[in-house]
Amino acid sequence: MYHDCRENWFLAQVKPNCANIADKNLKRQGFKTFLPLEEETRQRNGKFVTAMRPLFPGYIFVAFDAARGFWRTVNSTYGITRLVSFGNEPTAVPLDLVSYLMQRCDAKGKLLPATRLSPGDKVTLTTGPFANFVAEVEKIAPDRRVWVLMDIMGGQTRVAVGADQLRAV
């Protein structure tokens, strides 16, 4: 990804449930944005529903040249509450942090599963009836199936899941 050296990445706080609106409005004004997303499964009306949710709820990354005063435009964008600041001006997010997050996401901003899991790692299941359960990796099969140990009702239960259904804790 091309990056203008005069531009830094900043963190903008968005209004509740307005991340997509803020993203659209910032892009419409010509700003580069980054909104990392993750799949989240929740139980709703007795059914499990999987949806994309922001990795950092309430925040979006925005790139611009602060020296040119563009931060005032970002602050007044519909859907944005304010830029995260320490003092009178917004504080830049370290470029290597944003680059690392971008590498972990696909083109649409969806967080990809960790590339390396090993036995003994603590993981969280991201989908299915055991979503948000914490488990320990027991064994990784060659077909990318991962055997995890979960504490259920006071005992350990062995469950096989796909590597794409796990997130390292």
Q: Mind listing the pLDDT tens digit of every residue in the chain (169 residues)?
A: 444 556 899 999 999 999 999 999 999 999 999 999 988 877 888 888 888 889 899 999 999 988 887 888 998 999 999 999 988 888 999 998 999 889 888 888 888 766 677 788 898 888 878 888 889 998 887 767 888 999 888 888 888 888 778 887 7
What pLDDT score was predicted for residue 4?
52
Q: Which of 7, 33, 3, 22 is nearest to 109 (CA)?
A: 33
What pLDDT score was predicted for residue 3?
46
Would you give the DSSP letter of residue 58? T
| CB burial of residue 17 (10 Å; 0-12, 13-18, 19+) | exposed
What pLDDT score was predicted for residue 130?
82
Output the six-digit token pair for 128: 């299915």
Q: Strand runs (DSSP E) across the chain, as ranges? A: 8-14, 32-34, 37-44, 47-54, 59-64, 80-83, 92-93, 122-125, 134-140, 145-152, 155-162, 166-168
What pLDDT score was predicted for residue 78?
94
As a residue count, the chain comes to: 169
Q: Which of 98, 124, 101, 122 is nearest to 111 (CA)?
A: 101
- The rounded distance, in Å, linking the Cα atoms of 4 and 99 is 13
What pLDDT score was predicted for residue 6?
61
Specify whether the CB–CB gap between 110 and 164 falls below 8 A: no
- The rounded distance, in Å, linking the Cα atoms of 4 and 94 is 15
